[in-house]
């Protein structure tokens, strides 16, 4: 395992922490608050356009091949404060992985490290490695947008562009990844992404309406469609249902089940029933008494809930703390 320390972002890299002694790689990054790009009608969809394939029923499947994600001994700091300690986890393709644990144990930080969003936080640093299909996500030779388009993220609060149409919301990510597509291809992609996200039947006849006019549950599925449109190999979901009603929650859970064959899914949830319902593998994070977060136990979800090996896991999944 390499023990590189990856510094955070910003035009002026922040002062590096003194704790890790290994070499430091300053990373460049764009701001997550960058305005949405102007959209045009000539976006490229990469594989299909490059190969000259026409869109339509025979077009390539929505997501790219691959999707095995692996974290190796990941540690993280905010300034001098260590918040994650040597976290290793395999998140294989075709398996939904749930991350559970009490508030503040580092679940969101871990998720942000997986798709290089952690480095956008001032004074945030990390050590360890993240491998997607065997390739280092933090390889300095790799473009940041490459990692972000391969590993999408859906947040707790739905964040569509509210004034932008449903259609343009779905294709909004393409420009950021440098892909180009003609109108027909975009039409196809919009339908396919919304169908995969379980929203097409509800909005297919009103794509020109603003994203902000949808219900909370629909907005969250629109955000999932937006993530899928760039053909990710992995979809990270940070408490995607915590702001939703039970019906919308159930709809998102169905969507997760439908997507899992094609996209590796890692979901953070505080809802134990949800973790039980949607995941096949589960990791229990804990930060005890001011120590950094660690994985206490991980394994098949049924075993984690039915016969946990560690007393702390048992206490947590049975609601005795957290």
Ligand X SMILES: Nc1ncnc2c1ncn2[C@@H]1O[C@H](COP(=O)(O)OP(=O)(O)OP(=O)(O)O)[C@@H](O)[C@H]1O
In the complex, the residues that contact ligand X under the rule CB under 6 A are 78, 83, 101, 103-109, 121
Give me the least distance between CB of 242 and ligand X, in Å please.
9
292 binds, among Mg ion, ligand X, none (CB under 5 to 8 A by kind): none
Residue 236, number of CB atoms within 10 A of its CB: 28
Cβ-based nearer residue to Mg ion, 103 or 205: 103
Give me the least distance between CB of 151 and ligand X, in Å please.
17
Cβ-based nearer residue to ligand X, 122 or 182: 122
Reported for 77-83, long-range contacts at CB under 8 A and 24+ positions apart, including other chains, are 77/17, 77/19, 77/123, 77/124, 77/125, 77/126, 78/121, 78/123, 78/124, 79/17, 79/123, 80/17, 80/18, 80/19, 82/19, 82/292, 83/109, 83/287, 83/292, 83/293
Give me the least distance between CB of 17 and ligand X, in Å please.
12
Give me the least distance between CB of 106 and ligand X, in Å please.
4
32 binds, among ligand X, Mg ion, none (CB under 5 to 8 A by kind): none
Helix axes of 183-196 and 166-176: crossing angle, nearest 10 degrees: 110
Give me the least distance between CB of 196 and ligand X, in Å please.
27
Shortest-Cβ-distance residue relative to Mg ion = 108
Give me the least distance between CB of 70 and ligand X, in Å please.
20
Q: Are 104 and 268 in contact (CB under 8 A)?
A: no
104 binds, among ligand X, Mg ion, none (CB under 5 to 8 A by kind): ligand X
Among the listed ranges 105-113, 173-181, 206-214, 306-314, the one in contact with Mg ion (CB under 5 A) is 105-113
DSSP strand pairing (264-268 vs 96-100): parallel
d(CA 207, CA 303): 44
Cβ-based nearer residue to Mg ion, 75 or 108: 108
Query: What would the two tokens of residue 34 be?
Result: 């960058």
121 binds, among ligand X, Mg ion, none (CB under 5 to 8 A by kind): ligand X
Pick the closest to residue 231 from 25, 35, 45, 3 (CA basis): 45
DSSP 35: P
Pick the closest to residue 171 from 213, 226, 214, 212 (CA basis): 226
The distance from CA 269 to its chain's CA centroid, rounded to whole angstroms, is: 13
Q: Are 73 and 84 in contact (CB under 8 A)?
A: no
Cβ-based nearer residue to ligand X, 209 or 273: 273
Cβ-based nearer residue to ligand X, 93 or 112: 112
Cβ-based nearer residue to ligand X, 155 or 161: 155
Give me the least distance between CB of 103 and ligand X, in Å please.
3
Alpha-carbon separation of residue 46 from 144, 175, 179 (angstroms): 17, 11, 6
303 binds, among ligand X, Mg ion, none (CB under 5 to 8 A by kind): none
d(CA 186, CA 174): 10
46 binds, among ligand X, Mg ion, none (CB under 5 to 8 A by kind): none
d(CA 236, CA 240): 9
Q: Should residue 108 be labelled a site residue for Mg ion when binding is judged by CB under 5 A? A: yes
225 binds, among ligand X, Mg ion, none (CB under 5 to 8 A by kind): none
Cβ-based nearer residue to ligand X, 83 or 223: 83
Binding site for Mg ion (CB under 5 A): 108
């Amino acid at each position: 395992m390499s023990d590189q320390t990856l510094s955070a972002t910003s035009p002026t890299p922040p002062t590096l922490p003194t704790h890790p002694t290994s070499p430091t790689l300053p990373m460049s990054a764009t701001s997550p608050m960058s305005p949405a790009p102007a959209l045009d009608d000539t976006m490229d969809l990469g594989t299909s356009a490059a190969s000259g394939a026409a869109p339509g029923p025979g077009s390539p499947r929505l997501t790219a091949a691959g999707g095995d994600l692996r974290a190796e001994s990941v540690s993280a700091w905010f300034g001098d404060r260590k918040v994650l300690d040597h976290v290793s986890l395999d998140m294989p393709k075709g398996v939904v992985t749930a991350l559970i644990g009490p508030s503040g144990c580092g679940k969101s930080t871990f998720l942000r490290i997986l798709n290089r969003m952690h480095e956008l936080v001032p004074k945030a640093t990390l050590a360890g490695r993240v491998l997607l299909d065997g390739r280092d996500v933090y390889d300095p030779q790799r473009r940041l947008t490459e990692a972000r388009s391969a590993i999408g993220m859906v947040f707790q609060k739905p964040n569509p562009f509210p004034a932008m149409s449903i259609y343009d919301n779905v294709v909004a990510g393409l420009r950021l990844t440098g892909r180009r597509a003609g109108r027909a291809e975009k039409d196809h992609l919009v339908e396919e992404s919304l169908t995969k996200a379980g929203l097409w039947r509800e909005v297919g006849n009103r794509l020109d309406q603003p994203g902000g006019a949808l219900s909370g549950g629909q907005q969250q599925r629109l955000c999932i469609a937006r993530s899928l449109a760039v053909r990710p190999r992995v979809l990270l979901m940070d408490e995607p249902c915590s702001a939703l009603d039970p019906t919308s929650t159930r709809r998102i859970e169905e969507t997760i089940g439908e997507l899992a064959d094609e996209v590796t899914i890692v979901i953070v949830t505080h809802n134990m029933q949800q973790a039980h319902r949607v995941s096949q593998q589960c990791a229990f994070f804990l930060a005890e008494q001011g120590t950094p977060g660690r994985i206490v136990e991980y394994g098949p979800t049924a075993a984690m809930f039915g016969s946990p090996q560690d007393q702390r896991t048992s206490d947590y999944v049975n609601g005795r703390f957290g």
